Amino acid sequence: MRAKDLEIHCPDCGTRIRVDRETGAVIAHGPGERTKDLGEATRRHQEKKVGRNDAFGAAIDAERGRKEELEKLFRKATEKAEESDPGERPDKANDDRWR
């Protein structure tokens, strides 16, 4: 489903209609998912909740790892800059050799 689509569920018959927000045209329609009982709906909701929490935790871990990776790259670049000969550095900051 695109971000500009609007999805409507009929509470009576369970039909699902997808409408384009800009034009108002019906893009798709058909039978939607109907739950048999409240227990099934609760179980599906809990599964989705766990999935979202897992995805959020993975994103946080990736950000922490990214921070460490950037710090490591910065240290390497700093060491390389300290080891390089000052005569190799350009006189101008906009010299094309450094891009």
Average pLDDT, the chain: 80
Structural domain range at position 42:
36-82
Residues 45 and 76 in one domain: yes
Residue 8 CA to residue 94 CA, distance in Å, equals 56
On whether residue 40 sits in a domain, the answer given is: yes
Residues 58 and 74 in one domain: yes
pLDDT of residue 18: 87
Residues 21 and 42 in one domain: no
Per-residue b or e along 27-38, where b marks 16 or more CB atoms closer than 10 Å to that residue's CB: eeeeeeeeeeee
On whether residue 92 sits in a domain, the answer given is: no
Q: Which amino acid is at 71?
A: E
Residues 16 and 27 in one domain: yes
Mean pLDDT of 56-82: 89
pLDDT band at 37 (very low <50, low <70, confident <90, very high): confident
* 4 vs 51, more confident: 51
Residues 8 and 30 in one domain: yes
On whether residue 94 sits in a domain, the answer given is: no
